[in-house]
Structure 1
Amino acid sequence: MPSLLYVVAGNPALPPELLGRLFARLGDSNEELAYALAERTDLDPGQVRLLAERSEDAARRLAGSGLLHAGDVDPLALPHAALTLLEQGRGEPAWIPLLARAPDAYLRQRLASYDGLPEEAAELLAVDEDTDVVAELAINTTLPDLLARLAAHPVPKVRRWAAANEAAPAELLTALLDDPEVMVREQAAANPTTPGVAAARLVADHMMIRQALALHPGLPAETYHRLAADEVPWVRSNLAENPGIDAALMLRLAEDDGYDVRRSLAHHPRIPLGLLTRLATTVRVGPALLPRIATADPAELAELAGSPEPRVRKLAAARRDLPATLRDRLMADPNANVVKAVAPHPGVTAAQLTAALDRFGTSVAPAVASNPDAPRELLDRIAATPSLPVKALRTLAAHPNASPAALATCLASPDPRTTWAAAANPALPVAVMAELASA
């Protein structure tokens, strides 16, 4: 659990004199502080080099942010930073054979997923003593001959990830459907590039294989209908989100009483809107924007927003690009859950947010506090509310309009995530940053 010192070290508004004070505290062993400082984007070249010397984790972060360059990196001393630069196209190809022989197995495993890995390096990793490295290569390589060898590897884990590789030839994946290990057949059954007719023959196989098969988007229609009658709810739940099923099967699954089946169906990108509105009244779909709602046209959104059922109106409220007239109608909705869904929407006015808080109190406070345009006065009111939900204070702690008084309340919270958000907020007073930097 990071202390507030390390959180404030990454605060983008930290003044130069406080930043210098933190650099003076680095020492030779304070890797956690070095890593926190490496999150910054305002470091000078000397500070970047110092952090890279102190911590390889910091060096990797600096490489990822673009502050550390190939000329600053010895691939033997900072192999993870070197690999990060390679992944970004800013490293030296000559580093790859060195990294393939590095003693750190996790580094070699990362290298095995490198896009465009030279064949010589791939051959080295294919015979690595650590099978996690070989398995990572098996799921990522696009070299046909190498894939064929890995698909015949004596360790099932390696064959399993070869079976998950979407670059594998159809005949290879078809052969892996007959592997003696369940885990291998499971991956081959789920791989969308496995021929659907071949994969369908596993419809009566082990439960884990049927669960994987239910995700395959190219099965024959009769196989989908057979899976819809499977005794295992998880199989039917996977099937419900499969992009390959048709409307008739969706109607059947909409009546399924199995755990999570209808909820999975609600997340199907092509579910008919009328069927989705039916499901919204029978299952908890959560606050996330559903794929079908994300593609709804203006007329459909208006239809949803005008529904007499609040759970349907809430579906439309999750969109962040609503026409102003629909947004304003939903902000005036008599149902708190609908208002909570639309309150974070850009364009909602301070008056509307205040009215929502007046009507519904703390139940909508987290949503109001998450609106990017929520004014300071309203945030102060929320911070001073007794028995405020932790989620509301946590959201307020990260708000750019939070006042010093509100942030002081957040820093005094027993919830660590709230105090971390406050310590990282650029609106935090410099005097408070100095106090935290001295801790």
Structure 2
Amino acid sequence: MTNLHHPRLSGLGRNPAASEGVLVRLAAHRAGRHGMSMRRGPVTDAVVEALLEHDDGDVMTTLRAEQISPAMRRRIATHPNPAIRDARADFIHHLVEFGTTVVLRDLEEIYGQPLASLVAAPDPKLRAAIAGSWYDRPAEVQTVLLADPDPEVRAAATQHKQPGVPAEWRDRCLADPAVRANVAWYVPLTWDQFTELMRTGDEDIQRAVAANPHLTADMVAQLLDIEDPLVRVAVAQSRHVDDATRDRLYALVEARRADGDIDAKVALSWSFTEPDWMREAPLDERLSYLDSPHTVFRRVLAGSRDLPEEAWLRLDNDPELSVRRTAARRPDAPPDVLERLVRAHGDVFHHRPLLVEHPNFPRHTLRTFVDEPTPNVRYVALQDPELPVPALQELAAAEEPFLRRGVARHPNITDALLDRLLSDPDPNVADDAAANPALRPARMNRILTEADL
């Protein structure tokens, strides 16, 4: 994160081109150390020594064992200040205590044992952390976790559909109050299991069952009269309901959303359920949803890879942006479709790969996006690593800080532009400018001198 009072120092701390000498000087300032805590890659002994001289443990919290030499690891392990000596271990212990997902190698590093051994650790919080973070654990480890005496561990072990619940464990898990809501949404259910779950009357269990992709038509029929909007939407997405029933269920939920019902809003706008069964359905069955009035069915259809040309033409012009974006991710999406979509709406930068990274995207057009009126579309131009300086200058003068930040991170930035953005009124822009590896060593040293370092 950016240090709001000294953004140039925090940015410089994470600059991959900062020399050892720069980092040693920077270690004397809290903002610089804060930036250094986000560095990736090896940290030299001289820099670690400087951190040990000035740090109160913040950087030691984030430094991984593989970033520093064995000699420095020993130095830290025997440091007289417990705030430094125990910083990394305390940080991981806190993550475990609060049930946060933990990087597996961090658990092995701090607890000094392989994962398979940690599954039997005395601390149930640690066992739960293993269950919640080790997604590809072997079947024998999953069995141990399912049998754990602590309900939090069992719940963590069944939170995700992988590695799953063996068939011989299903009855036991479905009878366990700690895990049955987790398990009910993904394991195949017998009629007796389904009936027993519905008999509980528990809202969470009913929602989980309704989203279960293995339900039979008879099971789905039993859910039709439940008024919970999340159940109704899940049932509406089942392959076992006809179009009229599906339309009726959606209409009921829409009416409740119009009345301000928050559950209905969640069910229609924020729910992650989809008719996943469509992905494996025969082509003719999938194509029958090309005219569906419900966006989610057209969006799942657009995720196909084997549709005829006329279907792609329809999906590329769908009224819903999410459908058009999904269709554009097919391997043979036409260049003009990709450009038109990004030029009209920008790209989704949290969804990788970007549409502008599609092999068919006409990347030579990227620099022309600078002239678009919409700021988020103009930002796309910055995906051209050779964007001309005049274009960078234009974007650096934008009102929107996120555009100036994009320029501050750009590899083709000039010294003059960097210098200007280092003094930007938005601290995030200045931080990004200081973190740009194009920043010259002389300018880095000037930043340090100006901060009396």
Deviation at 1:365, TM superposition (A): 1.4
Looking at structure 1, the residues matched to 380 and 424 of structure 2 have their Cα atoms a distance apart, in angstroms, of 19
The structure showing larger relative contact order (alpha-carbon pairs under 8 Å, at least 6 residues apart) is 2
Q: Relative to 1, partners in 2 of residues 1:383 and 1:319: Cα closer, same or farther, differing over 3 Å? A: farther
Q: Is the 8 A contact 1:22 1:437 kept in 2?
A: no
**Corresponding residue for residue 394 of structure 1:** 405
Three-state SS of the structure 1 residue aligned to 2:184 is: helix
Given candidates 340, 362, 365, the residue that maps to 1:348 is 362
Q: Is the 8 A contact 1:48 1:67 kept in 2?
A: no
Given candidates 110, 114, 117, the residue that maps to 2:115 is 117
Deviation digits for residues 129-184 of structure 1, max 9, x if unmatched? xx533543565684477546524x4xx534533554746544444224234x4x54
Q: Is the 8 A contact 2:2 2:11 kept in 1?
A: yes
**Percent identical:** 22
Q: How does 1:411-426 map to 2 (within 5 A)?
A: 411-426=422-437
Three-state SS of the structure 1 residue aligned to 2:380 is: helix
Three-state SS of the structure 2 residue aligned to 1:427 is: coil
**Corresponding residue for residue 305 of structure 2:** 296
**Corresponding residue for residue 89 of structure 1:** none
**Corresponding residue for residue 331 of structure 1:** 339
Count of paired positions = 392
Q: Is the 8 A contact 2:367 2:387 kept in 1?
A: yes
Deviation at 1:20, TM superposition (A): 1.1
1:39 aligned onto 2:39: yes
TM-score by length of 2: 0.64
**Corresponding residue for residue 377 of structure 2:** 364
Structure 1 unmatched runs, 5+: 86-98
Alignment RMSD, CA only? 5.0
Letter in 1 for 2:24: F
**Corresponding residue for residue 239 of structure 2:** 246
Q: Relative to 1, partners in 2 of residues 1:350 and 1:169: Cα closer, same or farther, differing over 3 Å? A: closer
Q: Which segment is superposed worse, 362-371 or 163-172?
A: 163-172
Q: Is the 8 A contact 2:11 2:434 kept in 1?
A: yes
1:378 aligned onto 2:391: yes
Q: How does 1:283-322 map to 2 (within 5 A)?
A: 293-297=302-306, 300=309, 302-304=312-314, 307=317, 309=319, 311=321, 314-315=324-325, 318-319=328-329
**Corresponding residue for residue 91 of structure 1:** none
Q: Relative to 1, partners in 2 of residues 1:359 and 1:148: Cα closer, same or farther, differing over 3 Å? A: closer
Looking at structure 2, the residues matched to 400 and 293 of structure 1 have their Cα atoms a distance apart, in angstroms, of 35
Q: Which segment is superposed worse, 4-13 or 429-438?
A: 429-438
Structure 2 unmatched runs, 5+: 254-264, 280-285, 349-353
**Corresponding residue for residue 185 of structure 1:** 180
Deviation at 1:207, TM superposition (A): 1.0
Looking at structure 1, the residues matched to 291 and 370 of structure 2 have their Cα atoms a distance apart, in angstroms, of 28
Q: Relative to 1, partners in 2 of residues 1:358 and 1:305: Cα closer, same or farther, differing over 3 Å? A: farther
Letter in 2 for 1:337: A
Q: How does 1:261-300 map to 2 (within 5 A)?
A: 261=267, 268=275, 270=278, 272=286, 275=289, 278=292, 293-297=302-306, 300=309
TM-score by length of 1: 0.66
**Corresponding residue for residue 150 of structure 1:** 148
Deviation at 1:23, TM superposition (A): 0.9
Q: Is the 8 A contact 1:320 1:345 kept in 2?
A: no
Letter in 1 for 2:431: W
Letter in 2 for 1:426: P
Q: Relative to 1, partners in 2 of residues 1:21 and 1:261: Cα closer, same or farther, differing over 3 Å? A: closer
Deviation at 1:39, TM superposition (A): 1.3
Q: Is the 8 A contact 1:150 1:162 kept in 2?
A: no
Looking at structure 2, the residues matched to 343 and 122 of structure 1 have their Cα atoms a distance apart, in angstroms, of 42
Given candidates 225, 230, 235, the residue that maps to 1:234 is 230
Deviation at 1:11, TM superposition (A): 0.9
Deviation digits for residues 303-323 of structure 1, max 9, x if unmatched? 257638584884367538555
Q: Is the 8 A contact 2:207 2:230 kept in 1?
A: yes
Q: Is the 8 A contact 1:163 1:188 kept in 2?
A: yes
Deviation at 1:44, TM superposition (A): 3.5
